[in-house]
Amino acid sequence: MTIFEGAFSYIDSHTAGHPTRVILSGIPSLKGDTVKEMRMDFEDRFDHLRSALLHEPRGHAAMVGLVPVPSKVADFGAIFISSYVYLGMCGHGTIGYAKTLAHTGAISRETGDSFTLETPAGVVTVNLKWGDDGELETVSLRNVPAFTGFEDFSIDVPDLGSVTCDILYSGMWYAMVNARDVGLTLSPEHASKALSIGWKIKTAIAEATKGDLLLADAPAPSVLFYEEQAPDRARHFLVLAPNKFDRSPCGTGTCARMAQLQIRGQLKPEDTYHAENIFGVGFMANLHAKTAQDGRDGYEVVILGSAYITSQGTLFLEKDDPLTRGFLSQ
């Protein structure tokens, strides 16, 4: 008889190409009164499960996981985990979670057209569009406020020279870099080149901002390359690690880009922004409201997208498996 140290039921989906693995069972109870506190408890006591459930041989470098948790202030709570870091907020993951909730029957056309979700970054509102057949068609997410942390931030990057970007927060930190300024064309055949250049820029930014109080203990800003196709439309490519890019246009990154365009006066408040990934699959973004965020102008942005179920099953951790904690290929 095979002996298992753990069994974890899950549902996988993808949102514009990027995966969300919702872990439905097997995670021990977490301590804390808020989702952020429960996330910290997971990190302190169960980080080995993050790598076991997301890394190879059960996952891969680009896998993102979601752990449902109870919330005292919202309809649902969620911890976002990835192959490298813990996420304060995840737009594509939230859309994927809504699809998973619909797939399991936890939400339906009968339960309503919206719900609230507590994340480590704050409470977000999720609106749902149901089809006549009762299927979930699209999800729109009103994110936590986005704001600028560093404007016209210049950094010397090895082999590239000086690179200038704006760095914004929208649940995570993002450095906005014009792809054309660094000689990039954003397409599938140039993904490896974009990864290499983006990682050099991200590493340089991390070193230059080390110890900055504004970034606190947050992960280093990821590099969001944008390639403008029109004033209200661009292709995105988000570099997360040397071997990991966001397959989607990045939900929270799209919110940050929309805020940047508003701040710089390149879009009107009523304009819709269209962001697409390197495969041409997109999100739409609209400005919901302008607000104050820690003494700065904040921008509440709504993004709209769709997710699709890809698999459902059980992940096992077999006793004596030498790779129980997983590994990542570089």
Instruction: Just list the catalytic residues.
Output: 90, 250
Partnered with residue 166 across adjacent β-strands are: 176
**Cβ–Cβ < 8 Å for 96, 127:** no
Distance from chain centroid for Cα 59? 17
What single-letter DSSP state applies at residue 179?
A: G
SS3 (DSSP) at 196: helix
Cα–Cα distance, 6 to 319 (Å, whole number): 9
Cα–Cα distance, 330 to 312 (Å, whole number): 27
Helix (H) or strand (E) holding 249: none
Q: CA angle, 197 as apex, 235 and 204 as ends, to 5°?
A: 115
The values of phi and psi at residue 196, to 5°, are -65, -50
Cα–Cα distance, 261 to 269 (Å, whole number): 10
Cα–Cα distance, 286 to 293 (Å, whole number): 18
